[in-house]
Amino acid sequence: MIDIEENPILQEAVGAACEIAENNSITFDKPIILSNQSNLLIHLCPSSLVARVAMTTGTVRKGDAWLKRELAVSTYLAENGAPIIPPSTQLPPGTYEHNGLILSFWEFVEVVKEPVDPFIAGRTLRHCHEVLSNFQGELSILDPLEESQRILPELIKQGAFSNDDASMLISICQKLNSKQIQAPMQPLHGDANFSNVLNTTRGVLWADWEDTFIGPVAWDLACIIARARVFGTEIEQADAALQGYSTNIDKQLLDLLVEARTFQTLLWNYIIGQHDPQSLERLNARLQWFRERESSYS
């Protein structure tokens, strides 16, 4: 359990969630923090309501447009039977602002001890894609590439990277943004890694659609396998997820998007690493992966 006694930021976030719930006549006994990563997840126990507070992500993405897109996509998926954790219907739909914090509210689902079967993770992701193919709401196109291009100069100004690494990352960013992606595009999850798919009492469900955008489905597949490609771990799980998704994959496109995904994740590793040392370790591993690739090209 996460202790918030000496953390005023967490106290403020929990207080915001409780106040909004109380103002909407939600009855609960106590708030329980489920997770504190880029977002803070708070279960207002024993109700079926979970508040999600944009924490680290909210320092980079201003306003609430990205969360409104997530709610629109998630509501559509839930209404059409996709395997996801749905937004709560106990409160009026939409995002909520409280003292500069942006919150959204979701249904609580009970996670079981058994890990997600990666084959089923791939199969359920395909189900989500099939439902999303008919989504007509407004989404950005290839948003991760654009966001990464915007974030990189800011991090370099902050001294996040050595001069050599900064030059390398600028070159990689330019290369990625110069590539023309010739593939059908549709709405995606955007961050379809194993941490965002849960084994629950309702079955395998996908969560956290805040990175949703329009792109090739191979992007979400790259999200599933990129960690295995970079760290050389969980390779069997990654392969099983691809088998579960069951589609013909353009290998060159998938390789390109694994590189783009790793580049995106590396930048967020630095941002999250300001309060999570393990994230900085992953940053260094991804930097080394790029150094070795760039060295092999020269």
pLDDT at 2: 57
pLDDT beyond 80 at 88:
yes
Stretch 244-271: mean pLDDT: 95
Length of the chain: 298
Q: What φ, ψ does residue 180 adopt, rounded to 5°?
A: -95, 115
SS3 260: helix
SS3 68: helix
For 149, the enclosing helix (H) or strand (E) is: helix 143-157
Give 196's DSSP letter.
Answer: G
Stretch 203-208: mean pLDDT: 97
pLDDT at 8: 84
Stretch 111-132: mean pLDDT: 98
Residue 294 pLDDT class (50, 70, 90 cuts):
confident
How is the chain split into domains, by residue range? Answer: 8-107, 118-297
pLDDT at 5: 64
pLDDT beyond 90 at 3:
no
pLDDT at 63: 84
- Assign domain 118-297 one CATH number from 3.30.360.10, 3.90.1200.10, 3.40.50.1220, 1.10.10.10: 3.90.1200.10
Please give the CATH architecture assigned to the domain spanning 8-107: 2-Layer Sandwich (3.30)
Q: What φ, ψ does residue 200 adopt, rounded to 5°?
A: -125, 175
Question: What is the Cα–Cα distance from 128 to 94, expressed in whole angstroms?
Answer: 22
pLDDT at 4: 66
Residue 292 pLDDT class (50, 70, 90 cuts):
very high
> Rounded mean pLDDT of the chain?
94
Stretch 163-192: mean pLDDT: 94
pLDDT at 20: 96
Question: What is the Cα–Cα distance from 225 to 259, expressed in whole angstroms?
Answer: 11
Residue 295 pLDDT class (50, 70, 90 cuts):
confident
Higher pLDDT, 9 or 46: 46
pTM of the model: 0.94
pLDDT at 157: 97
Residue 171 pLDDT class (50, 70, 90 cuts):
very high
Residue 268 pLDDT class (50, 70, 90 cuts):
very high
**Checking DSSP bridges between strand 39-45 and strand 49-54, what pairing results, if any?**
antiparallel
pLDDT at 298: 59
- Tens-digit pLDDT profile for residues 21-55: 999 999 999 999 999 888 999 999 999 999 999 98
